[in-house]
Amino acid sequence: MAVVSTPATLERAVPAVDNAEVLRIRNDFPVLDQLVNGQPLVYLDSGATSQNPLSVIEAEQEFYEQRNAAVHRGAHHLAVEATEAFEDARQTMADFIGADYVETIWTSNATEGLNLLSYALSNAGLWAAQGRGDQALKGLALKPGDEIVVTEMEHHANLIPWQELAFRTGATLRFIPIADDGSLRMDQAAAIIGPRTKVLAFTHASNVLGIINPVQELTALGHDAGALVVLDACQSAPHLPLDVKELDVDFAVFSGHKMLAPTGIGVLYGRQELLDILPPFLTGGSMITTVTMERAEYLPAPQRFEAGTQRISQAIALAAAANYLTETGLDRIHRWEADLGQRIVAGLEGIPGIRVLGPAAGKERIGLAAFDVEGVHAHDVGQFLDSRGIAVRVGHHCAQPLHRRLGLTATTRASAYLYNTTDDVDRFLEAVAGVRAYFRA
């Protein structure tokens, strides 16, 4: 069964969000009701950081007003209430991605989750060499001759941790190249992923190209080779239904600040049998069973990877964000954003001197598009749009190798979310159409 439904399938299942409903949704987002440079704000930078609805803001505020206390550490009333709210939030996030409760670990963001994994795998080699831990740990230890495979479209957060893991262990880092249209060269993927592959890490949806990768096909290649499969779900978890069990990945990460939640909170999913044998990344209080002056024994997941005081209010707010998305309907949100993405791409393609990265209009993508304006630097494009109240992202979007492959150093990116209207897109397109004339390019 496909995880990302086709538009036709979704149309039969449930009606999409529409402009009228989006205008009601916008009332939940106070930050959107303001003027920027004398014009109503058009926020098209949710791919970097999304805005927060009142229910999320109030959930975090309510925690501090009513039950602020350390979790898992006190027996008094507030501590018990705080712990219950914190763990209820974990269950909410587990349900949100189709995981089990014990497989859901709090992190500061997806970057921390990926670094946690890379260092835990480093420690697996150290523990295995000392005869410490489960016997199965030896199978997770990387060594010279082993390979880590990523893709050419990865965000730096899903590239640099694996570069460093290769450096620490002597493994070799390889990558699956992209075609000129941004799609993965799956013919080469089948040749690159093989018996030496120990880790396969890739993005679900590209933060530059907007392309949705064939997760199940890649996962099958990885598992057939005996590799661990790691999914960067930062651009998918906020925008389309996600079921990690159905996708069959071993690990997945995503950040709260891209899905209506505060900064400083994210989730790492991992199969329980893997989490329970992996060595911890951070050590200290709350993740131990017994401590002597010589050594410590560690709790199973999820506490095994949650040392110290946790991100309590942020976790509760993230759960409120997940509930908001679930109540609105992620399949409906995905359909609306896909329509906005098509509107953005089709409009940009009709403007002379514009090069859009990723799939052409009419082909599946999430609701974002990065583009280059001939003769005008991306930073100038961004400032021009900002002068008209339109917020977009400029730069290499933490994907320098991808931009280099496409012959660019920087692009402008517009990314839509459930609170954007077709009027937002049309104002953006009208402004972009005037960029080259303004700069006399």
Quickly state the pLDDT bin for 13 (edges 50, 70, 90): low
Kindly provide the b/e burial profile for residues 5-34, where b requires at least 16 CB atoms within 10 angstroms of the residue's own CB: beeeebeeeeebbeeeebeebbebbeebee
Question: Using the 8-state DSSP alphabet, how is residue 305 labeled?
Answer: G
Cβ atoms of 274 and 252 closer than 8 Å: no
The verdict on whether 398 is a catalytic residue reads yes
Q: What is the pLDDT of residue 136?
A: 87
Quickly state the pLDDT bin for 133 (edges 50, 70, 90): confident
Q: For the chain, give me the number of helices (H) and strands (E)?
A: 16, 17
Helical packing angle, 312-328 and 54-66, nearest 10°:
150
Question: CA–CA separation, 108 vs 311, rounded Å?
Answer: 8
Residue 302, both tokens: 């999820």
Transcribe 58-126 into DSSP letters. Answer: HHHHHHHHH----SSS--SHHHHHHHHHHHHHHHHHHHHHT--GGGEEEESSHHHHHHHHHHHHHHHHH
Give me the mean pLDDT over the 99-108 stretch.
98
Q: What is the pLDDT of residues 214-230, one digit of tens each?
A: 999 999 999 999 999 99
First to last CA, the chain: 49
Spatial neighbors of 109 by CB under 8 A, at least 6 apart, are 255, 256, 257, 263, 264, 265, 266
State percent of the chain over pLDDT 70: 97
Question: CA–CA separation, 332 vs 330, rounded Å?
Answer: 5
Is pLDDT above 50 for 5?
Answer: no
Q: Which of 190, 398, 408, 433 is catalytic?
A: 398
What are the chain's domains? 7-52+329-438 (3.90.1150.10), 57-326 (3.40.640.10)
Q: What's phi and psi for 224, nearest 5 deg?
A: -60, -30
Mean pLDDT of the chain: 95
HSE at residue 420, side-chain half, CA atoms within 13 A, is 34
Quickly state the pLDDT bin for 6 (edges 50, 70, 90): very low
Is pLDDT above 90 for 385?
Answer: yes
Is pLDDT above 90 for 199?
Answer: yes
With tokens 């039950």, the residue in question is 67
Cβ atoms of 149 and 201 closer than 8 Å: yes
Question: CA–CA separation, 140 vs 117, rounded Å?
Answer: 11
Q: What is the pLDDT of residues 316-334, one digit of tens each?
A: 999 999 999 999 999 999 9
Give me the mean pLDDT over the 199-206 stretch.
98
Give me the mean pLDDT over the 373-384 stretch.
98
Indicate the helix (H) or strand (E) that contains 369: strand 368-373
Torsion angle (degrees, nearest 10) of CA 370, 342, 154, 373: -10
Global confidence as pTM = 0.95
State percent of the chain over pLDDT 90: 93
Question: CA–CA separation, 200 vs 214, rounded Å?
Answer: 13
Question: Using the 8-state DSSP alphabet, how is residue 293 labeled?
Answer: S
Is pLDDT above 80 for 426?
Answer: yes
Is pLDDT above 90 for 311?
Answer: yes
Residue of 94, 337, 110 lying closest to 231 (CA atoms): 110
Quickly state the pLDDT bin for 134 (edges 50, 70, 90): confident
Question: CA–CA separation, 54 vs 28, rounded Å?
Answer: 5
Question: CA–CA separation, 251 vs 268, rounded Å?
Answer: 7
